[in-house]
Chain A
Amino acid sequence: MAGAQILSVQGVHVHLSGREVLRDVDFEIAAGELTGLIGANGAGKTTLFRVILGLQSVSAGRVLPDGRAHQSRHGGPRPSRRARHATPIGYVPQKFLLDPDMPLRARDLVSLGIDGQRLGIPRPSRARRALVTEMLDAVGAGDFADQRVGLLSGGEQQRVLIAHALIGRPKLLLLDEPLANLDLRAGHEVVRLLERIAHERQVAVLISAHEMNPLLPVMDRIVYLAGGRAVSGTVEQVVRADVLGELYGSHVDVLNVHGRVLVVAGAGDEHDMRGHEAELPAALVGPGGVAS
């Protein structure tokens, strides 16, 4: 299944106002693969996304998109805008809900995905309209193409945003906590859609989530982030007591309860507590618990 390497993150360190948010983070992403970036709130997932997007400079390490140098070592100058967007990256930010008064149909928002960064007023054309319609249909948003985006449900808005991100034919699609605002069913549909996009369109899809279980059936690779450090590999390679125990720096239990994985970090230093708190509530009230 693994295709060409799309992104290589090598020894990335990031300091935010004196605090080390990411420590020596290494991983690779390949075309046609769905990778889950799993970590508790505050583990550094959004910061890592900002680094990949070229919006956050690193204090050490580098990000190589598509075989090209992206970020110089030791906080060198930020890459030029042209260099940064040599490899188009589709991006869906976290907690995104549009104002109901926003005068945009789903179609208009997707159309902005073609050339929204360019100056001037877009010229409507038949080809442009056909491309937008095709993309809306591809994500299952054809039925509400002419509705105001702000009046759509969270899951529907998510689909429109995925279409917006995909229409520029990116090689890499980043989604920051796409499941956070969705109910179980909508979340499941979005996960299946993303799996299809990765496999059928040979796009590298990177999804961040604080809860890994909804992604377990579809993840080709996992990047597990805790305390600013990361381990990556297949789910079988990473979600193990010894591997995560080393990452957390303390004893970790990986439990398999009715097909759901539960990571319980023992009481210890600050990082352990964070992992502990993030996983425990998910075990009690998470998707597996309430699914009927």
Chain B
Amino acid sequence: MSLSSASLIASGFFANEAVHTAAVIGAVAALVCGTVGVFTVIRAQSFAAEALGDIASTGGSAAFLAGVGPLSGIVAVDVVAVAAMERIGVQRARGRDLATGIVLGAAFGCSSLLLYLDTTEHSTTGAVVTILFGSIFTIAHSTILPAALLSAAALALVALLYRPLLLSSVSAEIAAARGVRVRLVGACYLLALATAVSLAAITIGTILSTALLVGPAASALRFTRRPGQAIATAVAIGAGAVWLGVLLAYDSFYWPPHGTGWPVSFFVVALIFAVYLISGLPALVRRQSSGRRSAQLGEDRPGTA
């Protein structure tokens, strides 16, 4: 009992196929979420991301009912949701929140029915917890290929739209004046967002998916001041949190209460939150020093009048 707790990496960790699958899926999800998440944070679309995560519950529960893998259901429903949000009006900030809220409400209504049917049809409550809060160890090995293909598509989309997306995130007016089709770029970005959220949803659960999307990106934005660096940092934070979370969850089978283990999603989200708290420290120092800087400049500048 005490022999395993002595080492951080429990015996059999690297030989376990569920661990392999979890590590790969987690890395893929972290890669896409870090890349898309940076744009989500600077475009202030965290609410849309959260909504897509919640909406993913509908797809996950429908897939469970139909007996297929959750990823296909989640992606299908999120793409439809994105189209609906774009259709209702995603452009103006007010219309955007409204559209998101309306689609979110409708989708959650469907989830409540589907999750109820899941529990009665299969006479198990496990489905609800698995879909909402995730269970990365239960992902089938065969999910790796579609997940990798989806993430490659999303990353290619973001790479293609990188400059116009960045410019329209800075100012839609400037971008439009330069001939960028701001609405088209925004719609394509939402597709990438739907993919990122879907991958996060199968990794740490539909309800917690925003944490993997927004948390690492928000922390990265505090550490760096260049867009490329922010994306790389967000990916590193996300992947680190997922891998360490998987390891800790594997270890936790030896923790009290003995023999059950703690959920991976808890560790991943806790680690992301811890990084976010730590990332606030340099920003705090920088803000104070930049405040001092501008105060000094104000005093030192000679009058011009």
The interface of chain A, by Cβ under 8 A from chain B, is: 53, 55, 81, 84-85, 89, 91-93, 96, 98-99, 101-105, 108-109, 112, 115-122, 147-148, 151, 153, 164, 184-185, 188-189, 291-292
Q: Does B224 contact A (CB under 8 A)?
A: yes
Instruction: Let me know if A85 and B179 touch, CB within 8 A.
Output: yes
Instruction: Let me know if A116 and B225 touch, CB within 8 A.
Output: no
Instruction: Let me know if B226 and A103 touch, CB within 8 A.
Output: yes
The smallest C-beta distance from A85 to any residue of chain B, in angstroms, reads: 5
Instruction: Let me know if B177 and A91 touch, CB within 8 A.
Output: yes
Pick the contact of B176: A55, A147, A184 (CB < 8 A).
Answer: A55
Q: Does B69 contact A (CB under 8 A)?
A: no
Chain A residues, Cβ within 8 Å of B163: 112, 115-122
Pick the contact of B166: A96, A112, A185, A189 (CB < 8 A).
Answer: A112
The smallest C-beta distance from A167 to any residue of chain B, in angstroms, reads: 12
Q: Which residues in chain B, 233-289, are within 8 Å of chain A measured between CB atoms?
A: 286
Instruction: Let me know if A117 and B170 touch, CB within 8 A.
Output: no
Pick the contact of A185: B41, B179, B225, B304 (CB < 8 A).
Answer: B304
The smallest C-beta distance from B156 to any residue of chain A, in angstroms, reads: 11
Q: Does B294 contact A (CB under 8 A)?
A: yes
Chain B residues, Cβ within 8 Å of A55: 176-177
Task: With a 10 A CB-CB cut-off, give which of B167, B177, B304 has the most chain A CB atoms.
Answer: B177
Known: A55-B176, A91-B174, A103-B229. A117 touches B167 (CB 8 A): yes
The interface of chain B, by Cβ under 8 A from chain A, is: 38, 41-42, 44, 159-164, 166-167, 169-171, 173-180, 220-222, 224-227, 229-230, 286, 290, 294, 301, 303-305
Chain A residues, Cβ within 8 Å of B176: 53, 55
The smallest C-beta distance from A7 to any residue of chain B, in angstroms, reads: 15
Task: Name the prevailing secondary structure of the A interface residues.
Answer: loop
Known: A93-B171, A120-B159, A292-B305. A108 touches B164 (CB 8 A): no
Chain A residues, Cβ within 8 Å of B222: 101
Pick the contact of A184: B224, B225, B305 (CB < 8 A).
Answer: B305
Instruction: Let me know if A117 and B180 touch, CB within 8 A.
Output: yes
Query: For the complex, what is the distance from the CA of A164 to the CA of B163, rounded to whole Å?
Result: 14
Chain A residues, Cβ within 8 Å of B174: 91-93, 164
Nearest-CB residue, chain B, relative to A117: B178
7 residue pairs bridging A and B, Cβ less than 8 Å apart:
A85-B178, A92-B174, A99-B44, A112-B167, A118-B163, A185-B304, A189-B304
Nearest-CB residue, chain B, relative to A90: B177
Instruction: Let me know if B225 and A105 touch, CB within 8 A.
Output: yes
Nearest-CB residue, chain B, relative to A98: B170
Chain B residues, Cβ within 8 Å of A84: 179
Instruction: Let me know if B160 and A120 touch, CB within 8 A.
Output: yes
Query: For the complex, what is the distance from the CA of A149 to the CA of B175, rounded to whole Å?
Result: 17
Instruction: Let me know if A96 and B167 touch, CB within 8 A.
Output: no
Task: With a 10 A CB-CB cut-off, give which of A89, A102, A104, A116 has the most chain B CB atoms.
Answer: A116
Instruction: Let me know if A117 and B164 touch, CB within 8 A.
Output: yes
Chain A residues, Cβ within 8 Å of B171: 93, 96
